Amino acid sequence: ETGVTQSPTHLIKTRGQQVTLRCSSQSGHNTVSWYQQALGQGPQFIFQYYREEENGRGNFPPRFSGLQFPNYSSELNVNALELDDSALYLCASSERPGQAVEKLFFGSGTQLSVL
């Protein structure tokens, strides 16, 4: 078990709505990454936050946004939900980004269904 916790575990929304997903990092970790895992696919990198700033982003539109707080917990916000946003959203924490090769500690994810 990792020390990364995500909430809620499941969520159902309708198209056009907005959603906020939450993540608490493992103790001592100041870097959080978010991934989207569609059914039958590998996780896709959304973005990474380090010390409350976004420092890397994957190929996701601006309606995917995030925050990191002083205690290093994080939120993922998705506006104007689309059906294709239905997926498992995974949060991963690590000790630090950059040149260091850090393993990722994943939470169990939030399963988002968009109807």
Partner 1 sequence: AQSVAQPEDQVNVAEGNPLTVKCTYSVSGNPYLFWYVQYPNRGLQFLLKYITGDNLVKGSYGFEAEFNKSQTSFHLKKPSALVSDSALYFCAVRDKKTGGYQKVTFGTGTKLQVIP
**What are the structure tokens assigned to 10, written together?**
């499941």
Among 78, 87, 107, 112, binds partner 1 (CB under 8 A): 107
**φ/ψ (deg, to 5) at 46:** -95, -60
Q: Does 84 bind partner 1 (CB under 8 A)?
A: no
Q: Is 58 in the site for partner 1 (CB under 8 A)?
A: yes
Using CB under 8 A, which of 45, 67, 73, 86 touches partner 1?
45
Q: Is 88 exposed, middle or buried (0-12, 13-18, 19+ CB in 10 A)?
A: middle
Question: Cis omega before residue 70 (within 30°)?
Answer: no
Interface positions with partner 1 (CB under 8 A)? 2, 4, 31, 33, 35, 40-45, 48, 50, 55-56, 58, 90, 92, 94, 97-99, 101-109
